[in-house]
Amino acid sequence: MTTPPEPGPSPVPPAPSAAVSLGVSQTCVLETLRNRPDFLRAASARRQGTGGFLLQARARGDDSAAVRVGFTASKKIGNAVFRNRAKRRLRALVREVMPGLVRPGWDYVLVAKPGATVVRDFADLRRDLQSALRSVHREKGQ
């Protein structure tokens, strides 16, 4: 006989994370941003617009080697189906492109663009993210 679960709030599962290889001997953890203050701090830092989305990035300044990534798709994108499709495409893009171009200790937020993120060719989105990451990490004056 099994005992019924205890009443009360269920425990919150930890944020999904995946180890991402950044080269020969460097690996970091890729985590998902979930808290509004983290999104707001990223929004007030560096940003780079592309044809398919907006990339916001900031160096956290802590000793953590984790790379945190957030995704935003407002109601301007469309109904829930389109918003979820946009976020799925951005997540797939991050898994494919970011491992070679991110820096440990940084937060990144990808903001979907209306009429672009959902319909833009995936190869174009890939090029957009690669150029946006290079631009965000370029030192001022270069």
Whether 21 maps to a domain, the answer reads no
Q: What is the DSSP letter of 38?
A: H
Per-residue confidence (pLDDT) for residue 64, from 0 to 100: 82
pLDDT at 10 over 60: no
Whether 49 maps to a domain, the answer reads yes
Between residues 139 and 56, which one has the greater pLDDT?
Answer: 56
Domain of residue 128 covers 27-136
pLDDT at 90 over 80: yes
Whether 10 maps to a domain, the answer reads no
What's the CATH number where 77 sits? 3.30.230.10
Query: What element of type H or E holds 48?
Result: strand 46-49
Whether 141 maps to a domain, the answer reads no
Whether 45 maps to a domain, the answer reads yes
Helix axes 122-137, 80-97, angle to 10 degrees: 60
Q: Looking at the 3D structure of the chain, how many domains does it have?
A: 1
pLDDT digits (tens, 9 = 90+) for 35-79: 999 999 999 999 999 999 999 999 998 888 889 999 999 999 999
Whether 16 maps to a domain, the answer reads no
Whether 8 maps to a domain, the answer reads no
pLDDT at 8 over 70: no
Q: Has this prediction a pTM greater than 0.95?
A: no
Whether 15 maps to a domain, the answer reads no
Per-residue confidence (pLDDT) for residue 22, from 0 to 100: 42
